[in-house]
Amino acid sequence: MKTTTKMLLIPILLLVSCSHYIINEAGYIRPPKHYKFTYRKKVKPLGNPTIIDTNAVYYLSDANFYRDSDAYKVNDRYLRFYADGRVKLQSTKTFPKINEVNDPDRGIVGYFHLKDSLVRIQLYSDIGGGSDQLHFGKIDSFGNLVLLHDNPRTGFRMGFGKAGTDRRIERKSYYNPLVYRKIYLEEMTYDKGNW
């Protein structure tokens, strides 16, 4: 093997070996087999299905990052919650397609847990070669999911309580909260998540 080929191969091998995620057959990132989601330990059976509806998806469309500007758009996406504490996030360019909603191999995956109307989500991504990201929010009085854009790891804290969440939603942050509308889709099936 030529020296230049070896020199090119070494950085590629180092880059690949730093990844702590796998790509499934559908082309989506998955955590390594024994990845420990901390929220998995907090999962409790959904006692009140009116808080999180596992027979619906929560759809975000036409949203902006900042409260004072329409220039920075957020990609359309939806969240699907499973009764066993799993959740998946799927970006979409159109209204959610039923075959994608029903397919557990599609989307970014993680776990969630509830505390009253507060929703805390832990999703696995390729950031930093593979890591989890936290998203905090609540279910509003209309049954929609309102997630904060603010990072819950800021200020040496690991999240926001009810008062902090409400404060940030009520214009105490320069980021728009993300309002995911609850929608029902015909032909939605329930296949358990495989992560």
CA distance 158 to 131: 15
Whether residue 125 is predicted with pLDDT greater than 60 in this model: the reply is yes
Top mean pLDDT of 93-97, 112-116, 155-159 is at 93-97
Span 124-148, mean pLDDT? Answer: 83
Query: What is the percent of the chain with per-residue pLDDT over 70, rounded to a whole number?
Result: 77
What region does 134 belong to: left with phi over 0, alpha with psi -120 to 50, or beta? beta
Span 75-79, average pLDDT: 93
61 pLDDT band, cuts 50/70/90, is: very high
**Residue 6 neighbours by CB distance under 10 Å:** 9
Q: Do the beta carbons of residue 148 and residue 160 sit within 8 Å?
A: yes
H or E segment and range at residue 23: strand 22-23
150-183 pLDDT tens trace: 666 654 455 667 777 777 778 766 777 889 999 9
> Of residues 170 and 111, which shows the higher confidence score?
111
Amino acid 16: pLDDT: 47
Say what the pLDDT of residue 46 is: 59
Residue 94 C-alpha from the chain's centroid = 18
Q: Model confidence over 5-32: pLDDT tens digits?
A: 444 444 444 444 445 777 888 888 888 8
- Predicted confidence at residue 158, as pLDDT, reads 57
Mean pLDDT of 57-61: 94
Whole-angstrom Cα Rg for the chain: 19
